Amino acid sequence: MRLKPQQIEDFNSSRLKPLKFQLDAFSTIHGDAESLIKKVSDFRIAIPSWALGTGGTRFGRFPAGGEPAILDEKLEDVGLLRSLTGTADAISLHIPWDIPSNAFAVRQLADELGLRFDAVNSNTFQDQPGQRLSYKFGSMQHTDPGVRQQAIEHNLEVIEYGRQLGSKSITVWLADGSSFPGQLNFRNAFQNTFQSLEAVYKHLPEDWKMFIEYKAFEPNFYSMTVGDWGQSLLFASKLGSRAFTLVDLGHHLPNANIEQIVALLLMEGKLGGFHFNDSKYGDDDLTVGCINPYQLFLIFNELIAGMDERGMSHTADLGWMIDASHNLKDPLEDLIQSVDAILTAYCKALLIDQIKLNNAQRENDVVLSQELLQMAYLTDVRPLISEARRRIGAAVDPLTAYRSLKCRAELIADRGKASRATGL
Ligand SMILES: [Mn+2]
């Protein structure tokens, strides 16, 4: 399903008058909003190919109907998100769930839809049909050099697919670890993993980055070989200047101070990518900002301050991706809500007066420091986001547009009620 620019324009037309009124009110109270609107309209987020279908849990799966069953349909869905939001303009492929068997044709379709290819993702956490050796006891950490070599070769194959599509980075997330005390020699597991990562890193194209994603627990419950940002940073530092840590918001132990982690990784020039989602307990993969939007805002405060200090581009210098899984909601509605939450947190964090904050911190004015954050957080930035969207030809209210244009019904009519996404 593809939307015509006219459909978006028609949807927006009746909403422009109240929007203008809200924008004028904002400028009267807060001053000129032009630079904020510009930054929001420039922001871009990638969508993973596995988030377009219902993820389900290990207990059950309840498909939404009209799910994209093949890669072309996944691209079409992200194209739909791009038309509606203007912000979601890239797809992150998971290999082998989404192998681009005809890279030329896939690239052509992406060009037509105005999409980029974000980081490619390798998978050594499952055994695939016909695979020679099993990853049951890990992949890059494995005691058997043959298994490690197989995992290395898979990652090289993923890089090759990505290269054909114009990707510039690979994300490596390993399920490696142990579930029982005594099962694993931690030092050997680390060294084996490092040597395997190094073998992949040596073949990384010059203009590529490698992202090393950590996770505190699951599927292993006693130790994870890349279990936290310290371990990821250790691998990335040993590997070299093109290896970075990737932070997934759901991959920490409860109550971890993620904003502090982000601040320090940025300070060290080692934050490379970011996976957005939200959680109450563990890796819940819920809609971004649905549980703790204030934490998301605090994270963006550190991201912006850290990136500005290093002269980094908010748009291009970190890999932004939504990494969520949808069990109850229409996956596209969930992604629209996630994009909304990200832009809202980003825009609110842009409102923070960093000079005043720095002064208040220097003076140890705890109350004022907190107030400066909360004043920004409590400001309603929705009109700025709508205006940013209008300027890039997107819907001023993407969720309502998605519903009023009856997108899911059309997808079901095109693909059928039983169509199911590959992947999780
Ligand atoms: Mn992730």
Structure tokens at 295: 């934490």
| Centroid of ligand 1 to alpha carbon of 248 (angstroms) | 5
With 0-12 CB in 10 A as exposed, 13-18 as middle and 19+ as buried, what is 308?
exposed
| Centroid of ligand 1 to alpha carbon of 94 (angstroms) | 11
| Centroid of ligand 1 to alpha carbon of 66 (angstroms) | 25
Report the C-alpha gap between 352 and 346 in whole angstroms: 10
Q: Which helix (H) or strand (E) holds 248?
A: strand 243-248
292: pLDDT strictly greater than 90: yes
| Centroid of ligand 1 to alpha carbon of 275 (angstroms) | 5
pLDDT at 63: 84
Structure tokens at 43: 């922001």
**Confidence class of residue 154 from pLDDT cuts 50, 70 and 90?**
very high
Structure tokens at 288: 């971004």
| Centroid of ligand 1 to alpha carbon of 413 (angstroms) | 32
CB atoms within 10 A of CB 46: 23
pLDDT at 339: 98
**Confidence class of residue 420 from pLDDT cuts 50, 70 and 90?**
confident
Mean pLDDT of 282-300: 96
| Centroid of ligand 1 to alpha carbon of 213 (angstroms) | 7
pLDDT at 298: 98
Please provide the average confidence, as pLDDT, over all residues in the chain: 96
| Centroid of ligand 1 to alpha carbon of 393 (angstroms) | 30
Provide the 3-class DSSP secondary structure of residue 334. helix
| Strands 209-213, 169-173: pairing kind | parallel
| Centroid of ligand 1 to alpha carbon of 115 (angstroms) | 21
* Rg of the chain taking only CA atoms, in angstroms: 22
**Confidence class of residue 424 from pLDDT cuts 50, 70 and 90?**
low
| Centroid of ligand 1 to alpha carbon of 160 (angstroms) | 21
pLDDT at 241: 98
| Centroid of ligand 1 to alpha carbon of 408 (angstroms) | 26
HSE-up (13 A, CA, CB side) for residue 38: 4
| Centroid of ligand 1 to alpha carbon of 251 (angstroms) | 8
Report the C-alpha gap between 217 and 223 in whole angstroms: 7
Whole-number percent of the chain with pLDDT over 90:
95
pLDDT in tens, 73-111: 999 999 999 999 999 999 999 999 999 999 999 999 999
- Identify how many contiguous H helices and E strands the chain contains and give both numbers: 16, 11
| Centroid of ligand 1 to alpha carbon of 21 (angstroms) | 40
| Centroid of ligand 1 to alpha carbon of 222 (angstroms) | 20
Mean pLDDT of 228-238: 98
pLDDT at 64: 81
| Centroid of ligand 1 to alpha carbon of 324 (angstroms) | 8
Sheet of strand 169-173, all strands in order from the earlier edge strand to the far edge: 116-117, 88-92, 45-48, 319-322, 271-276, 243-248, 209-213, 169-173, 120-121
Is-contact 113 421, C-beta < 8 A?
no
| Centroid of ligand 1 to alpha carbon of 340 (angstroms) | 19
Place of tokens 């004015």: 365
pLDDT in tens, 361-404: 999 999 999 999 999 999 999 999 999 999 999 999 999 999 99
pLDDT in tens, 326-344: 889 999 999 999 999 999 9
pLDDT at 60: 83
pLDDT in tens, 25-34: 999 999 999 9
**Confidence class of residue 421 from pLDDT cuts 50, 70 and 90?**
confident
pLDDT in tens, 36-83: 999 999 999 999 999 999 887 778 888 889 999 999 999 999 999 999
pLDDT in tens, 240-268: 999 999 999 999 999 999 999 999 999 99
| Centroid of ligand 1 to alpha carbon of 418 (angstroms) | 27
